[in-house]
With several copies, the nearest count.
Chain A
Amino acid sequence: MNKRQTIEEAIAKITSGSTIMVGGFGCPGTPFTLIDELLRQGQKDLTLIKNDANENSIGIAKLIDNFQVKKLITTHVGLNRKVIEMMNQGEIEIEFHPQGILAEKIRTAGAGSYGFLSDIGLDTEITDVEDIIEWQGKQLKIESAINADFALIHAAHADYYGNLIYRASAINFSPLMAMAAEHVIVETPNFVSPGELKPESVHTPCAFISSIVVLDKLSEQYDLLEHHFER
């Protein structure tokens, strides 16, 4: 059941035109090393699904800058003015969802379901009237599940089988995406033997994991962002 692969092997499974979920809310949870390899290999026409677009020149912003991304499904790109400009210029298609609705759409796919009934945003412009049904006396919107071919995930710890533990605010979308995507590629700096993780503390059971890429160390991309302290 060995899922360990080199980063080249793992990312080479991704073909141009793929839909890829990318974990992370801002930096925490963003799989910077896997993203860099995807940048190096250069697959194009990608649809990315991520909470945000990272900040300028960081994380998936690199893929967008390199014109590898045709569409981004996201909730908020306020920290990346360049992406907002590209959107305004029509250089990238951006689909916005309310954050919890995006999370739930991904989880719904991860649960093997096809959609859910929501009362969020029914009288706003994000709701197409064709998606509204009456159910048990209530007007509700059908929110479709969002699937993906791949998920790229950063985990604080992974064991031999691929059981994952995340840290602090780096949990965010990762457990949901790991459930939802067809192939799940994980990077981790801490690859441990079976039995080293507390079974109750595992966030993502190994059943959902396809490939494990072990990072010798975390590059400086994972360090504090110095400009966040400048003010």
Chain B
Amino acid sequence: MNVNRILKRAAQEIKPGQMINLGIGLPTMLIEHLPDDLDVLIQSENGILGSWKKTDRAHADPFLIDAGGSYVTTRPGSCFFDSSVSFAMIRRGKLDLTLIGAFEVDELGGLANWKIPGRFSPGIGGAMELAQKTKRVVVLCSHNDKHGNSKILRKCQLPLTASACVDRIITDKAVMDVTKKGLLLREISEDISLIELQTVTDAQLMVSKQLKRF
């Protein structure tokens, strides 16, 4: 999987003035790619607004991690609060954007990212509330799992995190928007043809008239 292609493309989703939550995994990695003067506030659901990049041993504070467990810095104007206030913010829809990982995502905007029954069930964490309540939800994930199976499905098979919540999906192979009619392919990787993409994608793709390469 071309992680850098996903991160580079995902960075374009972030607009100045936004409040943003970055899920564990790929989304959190994105923060290291943002310019230091970008006027955004990163919310970390463990109780930080204004969380910023990872820091090194010399500057880390043992009492300051982000929700992914990394020692982070904060930006001037940050604040700390308890978990009930953190999720009040989330459930009240105050966040502009959530970038979130997925086990599966479907053409109805359904997201599954918390449970693979009997095998790996790390728990729900903040995902259900973030997916259901953030103004804009963008999924970052590999297009296919390590066995080559499509993560972009007609309908999620795993237990749902939230239905009809995803606005956009960014993978190593494609950028797709969830529309009422299904998935609209907006951008396609330079490394793959349209036919090849549909072959490795379970969901049916509509192709934008302004299809771009990325």
Contacts and interface: CB of A to CB of B under 8 A. Distances in A.
Interface of A: 1, 25-29, 51-52, 74-79, 84, 87-88, 94, 96-104, 106-107, 110-113, 119-121, 123-126, 156, 159-161, 163, 167-176, 179, 193-195, 197, 199-200, 202-203, 205-208, 222-226, 228-229
Nearest to B118: A88
Name, among B17, B86, B163, the residue most crowded by chain A CB atoms within 10 Å (CB to CB): B86
A76 B63 contact: no
Contacts of A225: 62
Contacts of B133: 112, 120
B64 A169 contact: yes
Contacts, number: 216
Contact of A179 (B24, B39, B92, B124): B92
A207 B78 contact: no
Interface of B: 16-17, 19, 24, 39, 41, 43-50, 56-57, 60-67, 69-71, 74-95, 114, 118-129, 132-133, 159-163
B90 to A, nearest CB: 6
Contact of A228 (B41, B70, B75, B95): B70
Name, among B43, B77, B78, B162, the residue most crowded by chain A CB atoms within 10 Å (CB to CB): B77
Contact of A104 (B77, B87, B127): B87
B46 A98 contact: no
Contacts of B123: 52, 74-78, 94, 96
Contacts of B75: 194
A98 B130 CA distance: 10
Classify the secondary structure of A's interface with B.
loop
Contacts of A94: 123
A164 to B, nearest CB: 9
B20 to A, nearest CB: 11
Given A120-B132, A202-B80, 16 more contacts: A25-B83, A26-B69, A28-B63, A52-B123, A100-B86, A100-B88, A112-B91, A113-B91, A120-B133, A161-B77, A168-B63, A195-B77, A205-B89, A207-B49, A225-B62, A229-B57
A103 B87 contact: yes
A120 B159 contact: no
A222 B180 CA distance: 50
B21 to A, nearest CB: 11
A171 B77 contact: no
Nearest to B93: A112
A77 B24 CA distance: 13
Given A25-B67, A169-B64, A197 B79 contact: yes
Contacts of B124: 75-76, 96-99, 126
B129 A171 contact: no
Contacts of B160: 123-125
